[in-house]
């Protein structure tokens, strides 16, 4: 279990986000750009559709024999001189990393962008034992300096303008008067972070994949921070969800062909780094120690659970960009590590379905996410199942449950339906204006606050049919 990041209700978070004009503009520009780039990349790549099917089949096949592939991965990482750790919870994962940091006397950790370490809230834990965590992905670095949280899986700082970044760098890095120029700001970040890379003892990363048959951890970055973190510090720790294992290098080639296209529209990200244990004899650089932390944190229970398919997720962010809800409210409003449609499922997986009793409804079920997903995860289906589960477990508010139970009862019985229509026709009178119901009293008002309803017609279809 991971504790929620924010405590205000979703409605309030969403309302705040909707009122933020700058955020809105930034989201609109970013998501539209990503959608276009992704579409162009796949238009240029006719075999893409078939590779998506293959990638999906590989994920499914791996899950069906997950124990075998994990054992193979562990054996191979150990054969190469690496160490493998098993973490059932976020807390265990943190303790493992902290143990390694303490034992090796680490003072500073450089982090390559990693959702898994976000998920286990590693930074605060490192800080608490006197290890300074430094985010090195430019977007994450900006977020860290601003003491904020990422708003998009692959573009964490899309909610910040260059002016805000210039101001932030000027203040936090003691370099007053920096211009609002991305080129200059990127150069400043390069200088600052280069120093950190050369000083740091600990390189912290996630892993996009781990190839079982060769014990290979795979990191994909555009900036090169993944390469830095795995080359320069004397200890490298990779934290990875168990579902990231894939059988072979042949499989890896399939995923690489679709991952970057889905995320940023690139044919391949700039750097794909395959790491096979610590530095080998004769090598000039690379860590003395390599640790792989395999993270459960709710994943294993879904192998046989309703959210199984969300274990296929590659964390590309394509479903965020196309989601009409995400595009309006952005990542922060979701309130947890993983935003967007897939984020709702991952949050339910990590924190239990109770954590998404509101979020599960933050979707129009339009299906754009499932269509954009490189491995065709059926997100809407699982959202519906989550809603059903919440109903069964009585997690939803009682008013909602009573209303929908009653509604279901009425729809199932022709007799009740006829009576209901008649009652509705009378009961609606005070609320109908121009043929629409625009405002309802009591808690029904939640519904009509942002929507209206067609009024029950003066004569129902059935009544008219009888007269024909």
Partner 1 sequence: MTSKAEFLARIRTEMAKTPGLFTAAPAERPAQPRQRLDILRRELSERWPQMLERFRSEFERVAGVFHRVPTAAEVPAALERICRERAVRRVVTWPAEKLGVAIAPALGAAGIAVESMPHASVPDTERDRLRGTIAAADLGVTGADLAVAETGTLVLVSAAGRPRSTSLLPPCHVAIFDRAALVESLEQVGLALEAWHDGPAPPERGAVINFITGPSRTADIELTLTRGVHGPKEIHAIFVDGGLARHD
For partner 1, the binding residue among 127, 161, 413, 462 (CB under 8 A) is 161
Q: How far is the CB of 251 from partner 1 (least distance, A)?
A: 5
Q: How far is the CB of 128 from partner 1 (least distance, A)?
A: 19
Indicate whether 28 belongs to the interface with partner 1 (CB under 8 A): no
Indicate whether 139 belongs to the interface with partner 1 (CB under 8 A): yes
For partner 1, the binding residue among 16, 132, 266, 428 (CB under 8 A) is 266
Q: How far is the CB of 135 from partner 1 (least distance, A)?
A: 11
Q: How far is the CB of 24 from partner 1 (least distance, A)?
A: 15
Instruction: Select 65 or 451, whichever has its Cβ closest to partner 1.
Output: 65
> In this structure, are residues 204 and 97 in contact, taking their beta carbons and an 8 Å threshold?
yes
Cβ count near 399 (within 10 Å)? 12
For partner 1, the binding residue among 151, 205, 269, 351 (CB under 8 A) is 269
Residue span 87-116 as binding mask against partner 1, x where in contact by CB under 8 A, dash where not: xx---x--xx--------------------
For partner 1, the binding residue among 102, 107, 267, 464 (CB under 8 A) is 267
- For partner 1, how many residues bind (rule: CB under 8 A)? 105
Q: How far is the CB of 148 from partner 1 (least distance, A)?
A: 13
Stretch that binds partner 1, among 286-294, 357-365, 429-437, 440-448 (CB under 8 A): 286-294
Residues sharing a CB contact under 8 Å with residue 38, sequence separation 6 or more, in sequence order: 261, 262, 263, 264, 265, 318, 321, 372
**How far apart (Å, rounded) are the C-alpha atoms in residues 211 and 249?**
7
For partner 1, the binding residue among 2, 117, 123, 136 (CB under 8 A) is 136
Stretch that binds partner 1, among 138-146, 354-362, 405-413, 417-425 (CB under 8 A): 138-146
Cβ count near 7 (within 10 Å)? 7
**How far apart (Å, rounded) are the C-alpha atoms in residues 6 and 4?**
6
> In this structure, are residues 336 and 347 in contact, taking their beta carbons and an 8 Å threshold?
yes
Cα dihedral angle (378, 383, 386, 391), rounded to 10 degrees?
A: -140
> Which of 341, 389, 386, 349 has its CA nearest to residue 367?
341
Name residue, tokens 């286990």: 120
> Which of 92, 142, 147 has its CA nearest to residue 122?
92
Stretch that binds partner 1, among 151-159, 317-325, 356-364, 378-386 (CB under 8 A): 151-159
Indicate whether 250 belongs to the interface with partner 1 (CB under 8 A): yes
> In this structure, are residues 267 and 280 in contact, taking their beta carbons and an 8 Å threshold?
no
For partner 1, the binding residue among 7, 46, 147, 284 (CB under 8 A) is 284
Indicate whether 84 belongs to the interface with partner 1 (CB under 8 A): yes
Pairing mode, strands 436-437 and 453-454: antiparallel
Range list of β-strands (E), 158-279: 202-205, 209-211, 216-221, 235-241, 245-246, 271-275
For partner 1, the binding residue among 19, 176, 177, 281 (CB under 8 A) is 281
For partner 1, the binding residue among 19, 46, 177, 304 (CB under 8 A) is 304
> In this structure, are residues 242 and 103 in contact, taking their beta carbons and an 8 Å threshold?
no
Q: How far is the CB of 137 from partner 1 (least distance, A)?
A: 7
> In this structure, are residues 182 and 139 in contact, taking their beta carbons and an 8 Å threshold?
no
Instruction: Select 229 or 359, whichever has its Cβ closest to partner 1.
Output: 229
Instruction: List the interface residues with partner 1, window 227-246 (CB under 8 A).
Output: 227-228, 230-232, 242, 246
Indicate whether 419 belongs to the interface with partner 1 (CB under 8 A): no
- Interior angle at CA 249, CA 243 and CA 255, nearest 5: 60
Instruction: List the interface residues with partner 1, window 195-224 (CB under 8 A).
Output: 197-198, 213-214, 222-224
Residues in the chain: 468
Q: Which two tokens stand for residue 3?
A: 């504790």
For partner 1, the binding residue among 276, 297, 306, 355 (CB under 8 A) is 276
Instruction: List the interface residues with partner 1, window 50-79 (CB under 8 A).
Output: 54, 56-58, 60-62, 64, 66-67, 70-71, 74
For partner 1, the binding residue among 23, 27, 100, 157 (CB under 8 A) is 157
Q: Which two tokens stand for residue 85?
A: 């750790």
Instruction: Select 165 or 320, whichever has its Cβ closest to partner 1.
Output: 165
Q: How far is the CB of 296 from partner 1 (least distance, A)?
A: 7
Instruction: List the interface residues with partner 1, window 177-196 (CB under 8 A).
Output: 182-183, 185-187, 189-190, 193-194
**How far apart (Å, rounded) are the C-alpha atoms in residues 111 and 134?**
6
**How far apart (Å, rounded) are the C-alpha atoms in residues 274 and 211?**
9
> Which of 82, 47, 52, 67 has its CA nearest to residue 370?
52
For partner 1, the binding residue among 18, 35, 173, 300 (CB under 8 A) is 300
Sign of CA dihedral 137, 143, 147, 153: negative
Q: What number of H helices and E strands is found in the chain?
A: 21, 13
Instruction: Select 122 or 359, whichever has its Cβ closest to partner 1.
Output: 122
Range list of β-strands (E), 22-173: 83-87, 108-111, 132-135
């Amino acid at each position: 279990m991971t504790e929620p990041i924010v405590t205000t209700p979703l409605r309030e978070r969403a309302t705040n986000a909707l009122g933020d004009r700058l955020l809105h503009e930034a989201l609109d520009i970013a998501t539209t750009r990503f959608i276009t780039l992704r579409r162009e990349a796949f238009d240029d790549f006719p075999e893409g559709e078939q590779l998506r099917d293959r990638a999906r089949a590989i994920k499914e096949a791996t899950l069906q024999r997950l124990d075998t592939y994990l054992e193979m991965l562990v054996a191979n990482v150990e054969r190469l001189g690496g160490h493998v750790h098993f973490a059932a919870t976020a807390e265990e994962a943190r303790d493992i990393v902290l143990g390694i940091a303490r034992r090796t006397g680490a003072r500073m950790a450089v982090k390559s962008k990693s959702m898994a370490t976000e998920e286990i809230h590693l930074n605060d834990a490192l800080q608490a034992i006197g290890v300074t965590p430094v985010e090195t992905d430019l977007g994450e670095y900006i977020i860290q300096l601003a003491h904020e949280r990422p708003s998009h899986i692959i573009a964490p700082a899309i909610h910040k303008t260059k002016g805000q970044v210039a101001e932030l760098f000027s203040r936090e890095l003691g370099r007053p008067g920096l211009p609002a120029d991305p080129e200059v700001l990127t150069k400043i970040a390069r200088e600052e972070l280069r120093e950190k890379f050369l000083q740091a003892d600990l390189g912290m990363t996630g892993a996009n994949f781990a190839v079982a048959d060769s014990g290979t951890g795979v990191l994909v970055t555009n900036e090169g921070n993944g390469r830095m973190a795995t080359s320069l510090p004397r200890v490298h720790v990779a934290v990875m969800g168990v579902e990231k294992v894939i059988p072979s290098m042949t499989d890896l080639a399939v995923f690489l062909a679709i991952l970057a296209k889905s995320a940023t529209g690139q044919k391949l990200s700039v750097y794909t780094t395959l790491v096979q244990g610590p530095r080998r004899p004769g090598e000039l650089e690379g860590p003395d120690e390599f640790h792989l932390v395999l993270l459960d944190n709710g994943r294993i229970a879904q192998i046989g659970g309703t959210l199984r398919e969300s274990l296929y997720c590659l964390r590309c962010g394509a479903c965020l960009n196309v989601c009409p809800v995400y595009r309006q409210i952005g990542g922060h409003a979701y309130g947890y590590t993983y935003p967007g449609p897939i984020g709702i499922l991952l949050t339910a997986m990590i924190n239990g379905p109770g954590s998404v009793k509101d979020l599960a409804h933050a979707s129009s079920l339009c299906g754009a996410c499932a269509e954009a997903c490189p491995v065709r995860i059926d997100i809407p289906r699982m959202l519906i199942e989550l809603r059903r589960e919440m109903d069964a477990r009585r997690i939803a508010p009682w008013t909602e449950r009573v209303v929908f139970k009653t509604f279901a009862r009425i729809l199932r019985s022709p007799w009740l339906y006829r009576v209901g229509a008649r009652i509705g026709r009378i009961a609606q009178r005070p609320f109908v204006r121009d043929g629409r119901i625009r405002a309802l009293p009591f808690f029904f008002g939640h519904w009509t606050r942002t929507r209206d309803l067609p009024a029950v017609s003066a004569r129902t279809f059935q009544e008219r049919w009888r007269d024909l």
